[in-house]
Structure 1
Amino acid sequence: MSDQTWKTKPPYQKPDEAFNKVLQGACHCGQVKYWLSKDSPLASKYCHCGDCKVIHGAPFQWAAIFQKSDLAFENGAENLRFYNSGSKSLEHELPCKVSCSQCGTLIMDEGRNMVLLFPTLLKFQNQIQKKNFEVQCHMFYPQRVVDLPDGKPKWAGLDGKSELVPES
């Protein structure tokens, strides 16, 4: 990508004086640190799709959705690595996976308007903050590798845009 202006726009800018630092997140090695300006996401979901399982090396992905402007990198933004699973390219091509170039920790999925953060990277100060990230539903549940009988809605595809799947 020849246009590099995205590097100076949310979420890649540093927090300024007007940015309200509410929750901090970091990668495993600590090279990448970021702040959220909100204490709760727009939504929090488990995704059981094949791409999420393979890329995360886990039975599902836990993602919390935020506006890009709700996130600012304290440090490490210049050392991020990008991956577009559709084109399999390492360019900053939206939508893309964003990870630390040193330790490989997946930081977020970046879309055109939103980011999907991974709550396991957040430094919750109390149970109230943690509860704000409680999962609301499961997506792509028929592709699951484990049953999660948690009483949450389970969708065959995207939530609200596919059929509900009965809990096993």
Structure 2
Amino acid sequence: MKVRPFEEIVACHGATVLRVCRAVVGPVDAEDAWSETFLSALRAYPELPEDANVEAWLVTIAHRRALDLGRARSRRAVPTDSVPERCDARADPAARDPDLWAALARLPDKQRHAVAYHHIAGLPFTEIAVILGNSPEAARRAAADGIKALRSYYREDESA
């Protein structure tokens, strides 16, 4: 029997999961990835050990769902008739700087994911390594390289 109701888990970690989904698949598919994450989590929640790191567990699920959606998106045509709605800038720091999403999109997948999981979700590199299937050192390096690349992209954009 879980101590915390699942609704409380969603309320506590929902915003973090949404930011991770946005960073991995972009703002258009982020809500779908978020929904899929919590549907999967709801099914698995009764079996989750009491001492589990719930946030890391949810980010792992979000990573998998986002990758699934990204693969599905790459196989289908994307309509461009409408512009996606803007998110609330107070809820998401990156919404205050739309260039951040463009800069994140330019990063290689491993770097983008490592930056999102560490700097947006706040996960330690040991947990990021499990999600990405590499070592903590490789996860740390990918995040550092991603941040370095983001800094150079911003310098390029400012000089243009």
Do they fold alike, i.e. is TM over 0.5?
Answer: no
What TM-score, normalized by structure 1, do the two folds share? 0.28
* Richer in strand (by share): 1
